[in-house]
């Protein structure tokens, strides 16, 4: 609840600030309020909808099967591991799902930490040792216990809202300025005769500029989201190391380095424990730090002495 209140206050403060700027510059207050409502609805609405649908979307994307009752020794062992770790982390045991994939991977999702889901690939179950599988599960369990899914959604919602509001505010100012400049060059008769044309032109300018700015600002804003995502991976690794031992977590990460590249769509690949794709922008736009950096952080105990939870 605390993090929700803090993010809502941040979101409201940013909109009030930019709304005040628009009012000072002479924009209609009613238009500004309407813009604030639109930005809030679309900014937070999309993020919240994606959060509440995250489990069903993830399962359908990977064709995962929920294991409610163990049908073999491996499933029984997995369910027991999840139950034991959940008890240590003081959360409700998440659901377990298994999906068919060659890559060694797993992910956690869900709208609440006490109603979450952990999914593991068949490639992980076939190719990793039991100690490493347990470490991977512990990593995902720490994501759930830390409430990382809801925090990421709140951050995304705030950023979406700010991007929409700022982009459309700037677009509106530009449209007003261009309209004012045209008015200075026309006579009153020309203004009257070209009123419909002027309105259409203003709307077109507003649409084009706001669309461009939303893409432009959104690209830079995503850097913040990805930075936070990478930051939380280090904490999840450290939390897992506390549950299963640092050596086991490091060995699990080393095994993941030999995994096949995930082939699932991008909306799911960002959830994976191993999802880094090497490119020139990987340091800025990667949802996960490189495995080498994660291993180095564990070896040096950078995050081990810090709590894996915050807020």
Catalytic residue among 75, 131, 134, 140: 140
Give 252-292 pLDDT, tens digit per residue. 999 998 876 666 555 566 677 776 555 555 677 788 888 99
Give 162-199 pLDDT, tens digit per residue. 888 888 888 888 877 777 666 665 544 444 445 554 55
User: In the prediction, which pLDDT does 133 show?
Assistant: 96
Mean of the per-residue pLDDT values for the chain?
Answer: 79
Kindly state the percentage of the chain with pLDDT values over 90.
32
Give 64-79 pLDDT, tens digit per residue. 999 988 899 999 999 9
CA distance 34 to 10: 19
CB proximity list for 201: less than 8 A, separation 6 or greater: 178
β strands within 50-180, DSSP E: 65-66, 95-99, 106-109, 117-121
CA distance 236 to 108: 12
**Alpha carbon of 278 to those of 27, 33, 282, 289, 291: distances in Å?**
46, 43, 6, 11, 11
Burial class (CB in 10 A: 0-12, 13-18, 19+), 131: middle
Sheet containing strand 95-99, edge to edge, reads: 65-66, 95-99, 117-121, 106-109
Is 140 among the residues known to form the active site? yes
pTM: 0.79
């Amino acid at each position: 609840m605390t993090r929700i209140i803090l993010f809502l206050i941040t979101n409201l403060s940013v909109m009030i600030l930019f709304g005040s700027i628009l009012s000072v510059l002479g924009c209609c207050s009613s238009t500004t309020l309407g813009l604030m409502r639109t930005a809030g609805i679309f900014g937070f609405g999309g993020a919240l909808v994606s959060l509440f649908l995250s489990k069903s979307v993830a399962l359908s994307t990977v064709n995962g099967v929920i294991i409610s009752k163990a049908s073999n020794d491996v499933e029984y062992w997995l369910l027991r591991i999840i139950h034991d770790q959940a008890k240590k982390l003081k959360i409700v045991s998440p659901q377990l799902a298994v999906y068919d994939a060659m890559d060694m991977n797993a992910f956690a999702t869900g709208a609440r930490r006490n109603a979450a889901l952990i999914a593991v690939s068949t490639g992980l179950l076939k190719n990793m040792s039991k100690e490493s599988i347990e470490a991977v599960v512990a990593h995902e369990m720490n994501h759930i216990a830390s409430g990382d899914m809801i925090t990421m959604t709140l951050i995304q919602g705030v950023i979406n809202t700010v991007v929409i509001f700022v982009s459309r505010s700037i677009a509106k100012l530009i449209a007003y300025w261009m309209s004012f400049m045209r008015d200075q060059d026309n006579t009153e008769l020309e203004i009257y005769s070209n009123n419909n044309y002027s309105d259409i032109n203003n709307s077109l300018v507003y649409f084009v500029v706001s669309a461009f700015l939303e893409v432009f600002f959104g690209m830079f804003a995503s850097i913040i989201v990805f930075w936070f995502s990478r930051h939380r991976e280090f904490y999840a690794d450290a939390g897992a190391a506390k549950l299963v031992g640092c050596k086991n977590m490091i060995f699990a990460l080393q095994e993941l380095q030999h995994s096949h590249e995930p082939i699932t769509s991008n909306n799911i690949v960002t959830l994976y424990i191993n999802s880094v794709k090497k490119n020139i922008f990987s340091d800025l736009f990667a949802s996960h730090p490189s495995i080498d950096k994660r291993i180095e952080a564990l070896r040096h105990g950078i995050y081990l002495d810090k709590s894996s939870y915050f807020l």
